[in-house]
Structures are given as C-alpha cells and as structure tokens.
Amino acid sequence: MIDFESALSSIRKKQDATIQEIVALLNASGSRQRVLFNTAYEKRNVLVGDKLFVRLCIEASNICGNSCLFCGITRKNKKLKRYKLSVGAIKNIIRIHATQDVDIIQLSSGEGNFYTMQDLSEIIKEAKKYCDNITIGIGHKNFSCYKKLFEDGATNYLAKFETSNAEEYKIMRPESALKERLEHLNYAKSIGYRVASGNIVGLPNQSLYDIANDLLLMKKLGLYMAESSVFCPTAGSEFENEKKGDLDLALNCIAISRLLNCAPLILASSSLAERIGDAFRAGANYISIHAAPEDVFYNYSIYGGSSRKRLTVGHIDKFRKLLVQKELNAGCVIKN
Ligand code: SF4
C-alpha cells in the first residue's frame, strides 16, 4: 500500500505515476487534499502560468443517433425536445459572442450527419474570422471529413473517452468501442489537430483503479485539453436514478491530471460549477461558456440536464479573479 506523501513526492519529481500512486492521491481528503491542490496549483503556474482560457461552446444540436447510458440526449430519450440550430443561427451566435475574451470556439453536437460537410465548412470558416482556435466536438466522422475540416480551419478535435475500461465502455456506449474512439483521436492528431479528451468521474461500477487508468490514458494521448467531469444523473437517460459522482474525487482528478502534465488546458467543467473555485485551485485553467439560447442549453442535457449551470461571458471576470485566488473556495460561486 503506497502512502499519500510518497505518491505525491513521486509524481512531483517524475510527472508520472503508477496506478497505485494515483489511487493513493485520488483518496486524498481534508489537509491532504489541500496539499494536493496546492501542489497542482503551483505546477499549473510553473507550466502554463495563470491565464484563464475561455471556450465559447455552441451546442448546435441535441439530435443524436447513439444511446449512451449516461447521456440525457440519447436517442432513447423520447421526452426530450429536439433542436437543431440553423447554420445562420450559429453564425449569428459566433458574431455576437466571440468577443476578445474568447480563446477557443467549440462546435458541439450529438452523433449524426444532420449537418452537411458544406454546413460544417461554412460554420468553421465563419468562426475563423473571429478566433484562430476552433474545436470540433461533433462525434465520429469519416476520416476524410476530419481532413477537410482541418483544411477549413478547425484546429482541435474533441472526443471524450469517458472511461478507459474497454468492457465498461462497450456497456456505456453501445454503438462504439474504446478502440474506435482512440483511433479517431489518434487519426485526428496525425493530421495536425490538437486533441481533447477526458473521463467522467462517478459512473456506476467505476473503481478507483478505472479512474487511475483514465488519468494515465489522458497522459498517453498527449492532449491539448483534458477534462474530468463529474457524473450527474440526467432525466431521460438510462442512468437517471443513479447516484451523482463525488465532486471531491473529480477535483482530485483535476489535480492529478495537472501533476501528470496531461494537457496544458485542464477544464473546470460546468458539472463542477458549485466548486469552480476549487477546480482552479486544483490546477484547472480553462472554462466553457455557453452562448446558445437558454432553452437550447437546457435541452442539451449530455450530463446534468437542468441542474447544469449556464456559464456566460458575464462570469469571466469572476473566474479570472478565482483563478489566482490562493485560498480554497468551497461553496457555490455561480448563481444564475
Ligand atoms: S454521449 Fe454523445 S454520442 Fe453518446 S448519446 Fe450523448 S451525445 Fe450521443
């Protein structure tokens, strides 16, 4: 059994860790958790400074052909009101919300081909007028599509693997396999995209060893953006009656992903909105703000549905102050 102190000392020195060391760190609570966060916070400042990176996320459509068990927009959720923003509406959102505060524009949608290649090209070219750094998180496409969108100006490819346990992956995401997910990420990387991925903390049947493996996979992938979001049971999903994930465990994941140097950008996910100050304290430096209209945002219920907080441009100054705050900031800081 590895103790917390030796695990922390080892990860600090090597920027790497064994499964057992990561498990020891994942278990940190109380004063040990504060030491873990302090170490990750210092590491962030040394590695990437204290700039807050802001992503403008455009939830283009909640139509999805897949049936992932944790997700509220699964095709099996017959009660959800479906929407698809028109290309014109998306371009308008970009024009209005892509201010100088925005570092990255992200186009997100469920899995399917409801936007044509021409639509996607048009959106990316419009976004490119306002921001150099463009992420696509639109599910699996054929490889020629990734190439074309890269040529059009997309720079980052987002595909969360959610769990690195291949058997659990197949259960959680019946239409896909972990191997396939990783092939898409690796292909995107091979043609020049920076890649973004991560896990969900608190999935049913997930062990601490699974989470430790998730973190090692994030490191192995050589990510640009890493994300550990907390599982939130969502109405209409297969897991709607499951228990919410542990926020402290998700925050510990953020700290460990920083200490492993999994990615320069580590997201303080909106699933952690009630502890966002702590996410920054644990080494996160990246947030997502939402520009889509409110009714659209709440119907984009990937996890959490109506319990998700809608973070907007108006929160950015507060986040900037929180990012450099030395003290832990437990409690709710986002009210909307
Ligand atoms: S996680 Fe993605 S692919 Fe799976 S149901 Fe939700 S939107 Fe569709």
Q: Identify which of 73, 199, 229, 299 to mutate to test ligand 1's pocket (most ligand atoms within 8 A of the CB).
A: 73
Q: Which residues contact 158 (CB under 8 A, 6 or more apart)?
A: 106, 108, 135, 136, 137, 195, 196, 197, 225
What domains are there in the chain, each with its CATH number? Answer: 4-323 (3.20.20.70)
Which ligand 1 atom lies nearest to the CA of residue 173? Answer: 4
Q: 95 alpha carbon to ligand 1 midpoint, in Å?
A: 27
Which pair of tokens denotes residue 185?
Answer: 């990420």
Containing 24, the helix (H) or strand (E) segment is helix 19-26
**Which atom of ligand 1 lies closest to the CA of 109?**
7
Per the DSSP assignment, residues forming a β-bridge with 194 are: 156
Question: What is the position in ligand 1's atom list of the atom closest to the CA of 74?
Answer: 5
pLDDT of residue 335: 39
The pLDDT value recorded for residue 330 is 45
Handedness of CA 248, 249, 250, 255 (dihedral sign): positive
Distance 67 CA to ligand 1 centre (A): 7
Ligand 1 midpoint to CA 336 (Å): 26
d(CA 48, CA 226): 14
Look at residue 284 in the predicted model and tell me its pLDDT.
Answer: 97
> Does the Cβ of 110 fall within 6 Å of ligand 1?
yes
Say if ligand 1 is within 6 A of residue 302 CB: yes
Q: Digits of tens for pLDDT over the chain (336 positions)?
A: 899 999 999 999 999 999 999 999 999 999 999 999 999 999 999 999 999 999 999 999 999 999 999 999 999 999 999 999 999 999 999 999 998 899 999 999 999 999 999 999 999 999 999 999 999 999 999 999 999 999 999 999 999 999 999 999 999 999 999 999 999 999 999 999 999 999 999 999 999 999 999 999 999 999 999 999 999 999 999 999 999 999 999 999 999 999 999 999 999 998 888 899 999 999 999 999 988 888 788 888 886 655 667 888 888 888 888 888 766 554 434 433
pTM: 0.94
Which helix (H) or strand (E) is 333 found in, with range? none
**C-alpha of residue 7 to centroid of ligand 1, in Å:** 35
Q: What is the DSSP string of 138-200?
A: -----HHHHHHHHHHT--EEE---B-S-HHHHHHHSTT--HHHHHHHHHHHHHTT-EEEEEEE
- Tokens 């306002």 sit on residue: 130
Q: Is 114 left (phi over 0), alpha (psi -120 to 50) or beta?
A: alpha
Q: Is the torsion defined by CA of 299, 300, 303, 306 positive or negative?
A: negative
Rounded alpha-carbon distances, angstroms, from residue 135 to 173, 197, 217, 253, 316: 22, 12, 21, 23, 20
Helix (H, G, I), strand (E, B) or coil at 5: helix
Q: Are 23 and 209 in contact (CB under 8 A)?
A: yes
Which residues fall within 8 angstroms of residue 186, CB to CB, at 6 or more apart? 221
Residue 287's closest CA among 264, 258, 316, 314? 316
